[in-house]
């Protein structure tokens, strides 16, 4: 393929090149492409010429320089560039081309042509290097505040950069150019632009110094016109501490040399990163690559009827053979979905025993007579006697041939499994790998740079010592402040004023927090299972209930899922959710994760913002499994086991398919104060079934689950409030 303008790659192609460049920088081996690259650089160039020469070497190709068309003083005229290129194009796989004028014709059906700057049209490879650099320096490209300074009309890289920026939804683009040197209006469509004066750089994330050469002829600019736009110490003093100054280079005097040593001056690092971007570009444009990619791409999943639950279950039973199947989780009731597996024998859980007949069950709640708040309790940090007894009981159980399915891999399970790993299959991830995927800043920063089309919340990270900076921001706007690991909304605060920050500082020990503006929208949750090759088994989209009065005291506390309400979502939004889900799944698989996972997102104005990835089963998985089971489909617990027994997904149903079935909602009611509950056997609220209720005088700790109210009808429209009937059901229950 040719790369003459950024549009030739499109947003997905650009992201793909950036992702590949990231991999190359991290040590991935470039492809050994062989062949030869012609560097037809017919106007001056340092970085692009030498950078593509090096990239050609990196991909195993021979770089050949061609620097002027055939001409001698004895000739009346040089050979035209068009003739030169047409006649040699067959010798090369790729021609990297820079010319003073856009050529009147380019070779076709032979070498791929990569523009290294054609006339005043575009400089797409430089724009890719710029985006890569921003990604590397700031951790993301989306949602940033940009200032572009220089001759924004004439500099061809600006044309490429503005066109590409429109795909990354900048929060702001300030255009800083002398009169008559602003960009053409057609470049600004869809961008939040405004003209700005020299030095108006406060609040910017990126100050891009595009270049303001003195020029000549009709393009000449005198020093008086150029001087105000120079970036010097005064401009740097107005830029924030986290901002970066980029420049494609060369510079004349647009950036004062005094600021070279400022760590925010990133142009040398920017240029260095070009090596990886240019290798990624050569790989992407190499002839036959697109066809090869097409050939290798798995055929699109056929929306075939789901393999029946019983067929998939039989496959699992065959793979498990004589092994007992053991479930290790938080709520024992979650394991009910395994009850039709012949091998299913035992549950170890923390609260809410399943009550299944014929299954051995060890539940901490039944032993301690206390129900813990699962979002605050961590069994791995509990050294109490009952947990020690639980380990001993697991060791005993694992003396027979078995396989264990964890809700979430953890250290307690590992302590019983490793000593018995000769007899027991662990159908889950290694628990310390699991921990990695629970580090929210790592996951979201990886996703934003590494995946095609995953839009994440634009978090900014602050060291604990920078709390005063957060307070300064709170003077202007409320902020969400979040610790880096938390479940069920426990570590997330909505802070409205500097004074509230100290009182509501999220507890953590890792020295930094994340902040972001509140993104208003519909909270969405998805259940899925990823297989080692990145294939996904989807298990339902729901509207997540968050912070519902009467159900939780936490502002962002988890309160249940409404699968029925999700049926009303726009068809395009559902497809966008699936696209994000598939991208997250692909990323998880590439990083060695497999099995059940969840994705929380905010749906805002038809955009899907991924909020977090839950590398485990979720509170919604039990109802998701019940819905699958009632439509004779293998649910996510079975699919998860399949992912660890080297099976394929049970089917390729899309979320759109799944929303066509009879659906349901559940509301998780948490108690505000610690309560002792005698058996609550009263009539369930009309239209609701009640689940997860504790029995036998258990003390339910503040914040713990009191009951799960399940209904066939939608209960919410916005995820943060309930319908009248649902509200009264909660009131009756949580009186
Ligand atoms: N940025 C850039 O294109 O540099 P050269 O002109 O030196 O190639």
Q: What is the rounded distance in angstroms from the CA atom of residue 529 to the CA atom of residue 425? A: 19
CB of residue 50 inside a 6 A radius of ligand 1: no
Using one digit for the tens of pLDDT, what is the confidence trace for 580-589? 999 899 899 9
Q: How confident is the model at residue 28 (pLDDT cuts 50, 70, 90)?
A: confident
Query: 9: which 2 tokens?
Result: 């790659």
CB of 235 shorter than 6 A to ligand 1: no
Confidence at residue 454, expressed as pLDDT on a 0 to 100 scale:
84
Q: Where are the beta strands (DSSP E) in 678-729?
A: 689-691, 698-700, 705-711
Rounded Cα distance between 82 and 80, Å, is 5
For ligand 1, whether the C-beta of 126 sits within 6 Å is yes
Q: Is the pLDDT of residue 300 over 70?
A: no
Mean pLDDT of 43-57: 97
Instruction: Report helix, strand or coil for 63.
Output: strand
In this model, does residue 681 exceed pLDDT 60?
A: no
Does residue 643 sit in helix, strand or coil?
Answer: helix
> Is it the case that residue 735 has pLDDT exceeding 80?
no
* Residue 278 beta carbon below 6 angstroms from any ligand 1 atom: no
Whole-number Å distance, alpha carbon 128 to ligand 1 midpoint, is 13
In short, whether 354's Cβ falls inside 6 Å of ligand 1 is no
DSSP state of 676: E
Query: Rounded to an integer, what distance in angstroms lies between the CA atom of residue 34 and that of residue 37?
Result: 9
Compute the distance from residue 117 Cα to the ligand 1 centre, in Å: 9
Report the candidate in 547, 483, 475, 472 with the shortest Cα–Cα distance to residue 515.
483
Nearest atom in ligand 1 to 117's CA: 3
Res. 489: pLDDT tops 50: yes
Give residue 530's pLDDT band: very low, low, confident or very high (50, 70, 90): very high
Question: The tokens of 519 are what?
Answer: 């993104």
Decide: 349 in ligand 1 pocket, CB within 6 A: no
Residue 696 has pLDDT above 90, yes or no: no
Query: Which residues make beta-bridge pairs with 331?
Result: 351
Question: Distance from the CA of 580 to the center of ligand 1, in angstroms?
Answer: 36
Closest atom, ligand 1, to C-alpha of 49: 8
| End-to-end C-alpha distance for the chain, whole angstroms | 67
- Tell me how far the alpha carbon of residue 156 lies from the centroid of ligand 1, in angstroms: 11
Q: What is the pLDDT of residues 401-439, one digit of tens each?
A: 999 999 999 999 999 999 999 999 999 999 999 999 999
Q: Which residue's CA is minimally distant from atom 3 of ligand 1?
A: 48
The per-residue pLDDT for 291 is: 60
Looking at residue 334, the DSSP 8-state letter turns out to be G
Residue 466: pLDDT over 60: yes
Helices 571-590 and 440-450, packing angle to 10 deg: 110
Nearest to 61 by CA among 38, 45, 41: 38
* Ligand 1 pocket member 251 (CB < 6 A): no
**Mean confidence (pLDDT) of the chain:** 92
pLDDT tens digit sequence for 702-712: 999 999 999 99
C-beta of 47 in contact with ligand 1 (< 6 A): yes
Averaged pLDDT for residues 659-675: 93
Q: Is the CB of 46 under 6 A from ligand 1?
A: yes
Separation of alpha carbons 272 and 268, rounded Å: 6
Tens-digit pLDDT profile for residues 607-651:
999 999 999 999 999 999 999 999 999 999 999 999 999 888 999
Lowest mean pLDDT among 248-262, 272-286, 604-618, 666-680: 666-680
Ligand 1 center–CA 285 separation, angstroms? 20
What count of other Cβ atoms lies within 10 Å of the Cβ of residue 645? 15
Q: Mean pLDDT, to the nearest integer, of 251-269?
A: 96
Residue position matching structure tokens 């090369």: 92
- Inform me whether the pLDDT recorded for 122 exceeds 90: yes
Please check whether residue 422 is in contact with residue 113, taking contact to mean a CB–CB distance below 8 angstroms.
no
Complete DSSP assignment for 319-341: HHTTPEEEEE-SBGGGGGGGTTS
**Residue 598 contacts residue 525 (beta carbons within 8 Å):** yes
- Contact call for residues 129 and 114 (beta carbons, < 8 A): no
Nearest CA to ligand 1 atom 4: 47
Please give, one letter per residue, the 3-state secondary structure of 498-556: HHHHHHHCCCCCCCEEEEECCCCCEEEEEEEEECCCCCEEEEEEEEEEECCCCCCCCCC
- In this prediction, residue 306 has a pLDDT band, given cuts at 50, 70 and 90, of very low
Task: Tell me which residue has its CA closest to atom 1 in ligand 1.
Answer: 248
User: In this structure, are strands 36-41 and 244-246 parallel, antiparallel, or unpaired?
Assistant: unpaired
Q: What is the pLDDT of residues 182-202, one digit of tens each?
A: 999 999 998 999 999 999 999
Spatial CB neighbours of 540, under 8 Å, sequence gap ≥ 6: 526, 527, 563, 566, 620, 624, 627, 628, 655, 658, 659
Nearest CA-CA partner of 390 in 408, 420, 416: 416
Check residues 685 and 521 and name the one with the higher pLDDT: 521
pLDDT, residue 238, reads 97
Ligand 1 pocket check for 249: Cβ under 6 Å? yes
Does residue 294 carry a pLDDT above 70?
no
Cis peptide bond N-terminal to 250, omega within 30: yes
How far is the C-alpha of 607 from the C-alpha of 521, rounded, in Å? 9
pLDDT band at 685 (very low <50, low <70, confident <90, very high): confident
Mean of pLDDT values over 234-255? 96
Regarding the beta carbon of 525 and ligand 1, being less than 6 Å apart is answered no
Buried b (16+ CB within 10 A) or exposed e, 514-530: bbbbeeebbbbbbbbbb
Residue of 535, 326, 312 whose CA lies nearest to 427: 326
Orientation angle between helical segments 124-138 and 156-165, nearest 10 degrees: 50
pLDDT at residue 694, rounded to an integer: 87
Return the pLDDT at 674: 86
Is the CB of residue 48 below 6 angstroms from any atom belonging to ligand 1? yes
Q: Looking at the chain, how many residues does it have?
A: 735
Q: How far is the CA of 199 from the centre of ligand 1 (A)?
A: 26
Cα 475 versus chain centre, distance: 30
pLDDT band at 299 (very low <50, low <70, confident <90, very high): very low
Probe target for ligand 1 pocket from 65, 98, 117, 133, with the most ligand atoms within 8 Å of CB: 117
- Would you say 351 and 372 are in contact if contact means Cβ atoms under 8 Å apart? yes
Gap from CA of 60 to ligand 1 centroid (Å) = 23
For ligand 1, atom 7: residue with the closest CA: 46
Whole-angstrom distance, CA of residue 538 vs CA of residue 361: 29
What mean pLDDT is predicted for residues 254-280? 97
Domains of the chain from N-terminus onward: 6-124+275-296 (3.40.50.1370), 139-271 (3.40.50.1370), 309-436 (3.40.50), 443-449+520-734 (3.30.470.20), 458-516 (3.30.1490.20)
Q: Is the CB of 694 under 6 A from ligand 1?
A: no
Rounded to an integer, the average pLDDT of 159-173 is: 95
* Ligand 1: centre distance to CA 219 (Å): 20
Q: Which two tokens stand for residue 112?
A: 């791929």
Q: What confidence score (pLDDT) does residue 293 get?
A: 56
CA dihedral (553, 558, 564, 569) positive or negative:
positive
In contact, 154 and 182? CB cutoff 8 Å:
no
Q: How far is the CA of 274 from the centre of ligand 1 (A)?
A: 11
Proportion of the chain above pLDDT 90, given as a percent:
80
């Amino acid at each position: 393929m040719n790369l003459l303008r950024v549009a030739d790659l499109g947003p997905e192609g650009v992201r793909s090149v950036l992702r590949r460049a990231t991999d190359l920088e991290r040590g991935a081996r470039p492809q050994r492409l062989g062949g030869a690259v012609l560097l037809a650089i017919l106007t001056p160039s340092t970085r692009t010429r030498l950078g593509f020469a090096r990239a050609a070497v990196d991909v195993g190709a021979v770089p050949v320089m061609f620097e002027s068309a055939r001409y001698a003083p004895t000739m009346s005229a040089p050979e035209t560039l068009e003739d030169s290129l047409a006649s040699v194009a067959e010798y090369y796989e790729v021609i990297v081309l820079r010319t003073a004028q856009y050529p009147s014709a380019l070779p076709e059906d032979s070498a791929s042509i990569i523009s290294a700057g054609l006339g005043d049209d575009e400089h797409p490879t430089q724009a890719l290097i710029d985006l890569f650099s921003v990604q590397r320096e700031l951790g993301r490209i989306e949602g940033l505040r940009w200032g572009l300074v220089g001759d924004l009309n004439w500099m061809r890289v600006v044309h490429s950069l503005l066109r590409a920026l429109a795909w990354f939804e900048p929060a702001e683009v300030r255009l800083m150019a002398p009169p008559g040197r602003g960009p053409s209006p057609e470049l600004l469509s869809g961008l939040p632009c405004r003209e700005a004066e020299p030095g108006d750089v406060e609040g910017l994330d990126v100050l891009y110094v595009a270049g303001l050469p003195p020029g000549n002829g009709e393009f000449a600019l005198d020093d008086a016109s150029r001087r105000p736009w120079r970036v010097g110490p005064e401009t740097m003093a107005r830029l924030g501490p986290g901002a970066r100054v980029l420049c494609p280079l060369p510079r004349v005097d647009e950036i004062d040399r005094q600021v070279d040593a400022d760590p925010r001056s990133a142009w040398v690092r920017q240029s260095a990163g070009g090596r990886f971007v240019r290798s990624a570009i050569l790989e992407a444009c190499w002839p036959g690559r697109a066809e090869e990619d097409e050939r290798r791409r798995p055929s699109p999943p056929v929306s075939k009827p789901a393999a029946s639950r019983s067929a998939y279950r039989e496959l699992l039973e065959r793979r498990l053979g004589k092994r007992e199947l053991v479930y290790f989780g938080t709520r024992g009731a979650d394991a009910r979905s395994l009850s039709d597996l012949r091998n299913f024998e035992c549950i170890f859980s923390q609260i809410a025993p399943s009550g299944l007949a014929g299954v051995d069950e060890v539940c901490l709640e039944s032993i301690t007579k206390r129900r813990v708040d699962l979002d605050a309790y961590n069994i791995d940090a509990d050294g109490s006697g009952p947990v020690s007894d639980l380990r001993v009981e697991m060791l005993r159980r694992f003396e027979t041939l078995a396989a264990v399915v964890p809700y979430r891999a953890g250290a307690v399970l590992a302590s019983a499994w490793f000593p018995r790993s000769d007899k027991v299959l662990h159908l889950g991830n290694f628990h310390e790998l699991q921990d990695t995927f629970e580090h929210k800043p790592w996951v979201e920063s990886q996703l934003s740079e590494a995946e095609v089309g995953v839009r994440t919340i634009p978090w900014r990270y602050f060291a604990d010592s920078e709390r005063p900076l957060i307070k300064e921001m709170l003077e202007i706007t409320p902020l969400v402040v979040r610790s880096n690991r938390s479940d069920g909304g426990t570590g997330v605060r909505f802070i409205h004023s500097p004074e509230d920050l100290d009182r509501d500082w999220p507890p953590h020990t890792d020295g930094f927090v994340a902040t972001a503006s509140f993104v208003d929208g519909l909270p969405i949750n998805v259940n899925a299972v990823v297989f080692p090759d990145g294939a996904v088994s989807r298990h339902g989209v729901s509207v997540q209930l968050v912070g519902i009065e009467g159900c939780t005291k936490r502002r962002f506390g988890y309160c249940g899922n409404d699968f029925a309400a999700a049926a009303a979502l726009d068809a395009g939004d559902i497809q966008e959710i699936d696209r994000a889900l598939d991208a997250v799944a692909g990323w998880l698989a590439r990083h060695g994760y497999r099995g059940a996972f969840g994705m929380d997102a905010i749906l805002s104005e038809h955009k899907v913002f991924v909020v977090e990835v839950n590398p485990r089963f979720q509170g919604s998985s039990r109802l998701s499994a019940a819905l699958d089971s009632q439509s004779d489909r293998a649910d996510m617990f079975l699919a998860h086991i399949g992912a660890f027994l080297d099976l394929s997904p049970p089917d390729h149903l899309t979320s759109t398919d799944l929303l066509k079935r009879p659906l349901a909602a559940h509301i998780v009611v948490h108690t505000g104060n610690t309560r002792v509950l005698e058996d609550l056997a009263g009539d369930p609220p009309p239209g609701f079934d009640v689940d997860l209720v504790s029995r036998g005088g258990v003390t339910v700790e503040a914040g713990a689950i009191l009951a799960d109210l399940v209904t066939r009808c939608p209960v919410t429209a916005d995820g943060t409030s309930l319908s009248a009937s649902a509200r009264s059901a909660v009131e009756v229950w949580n009186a």
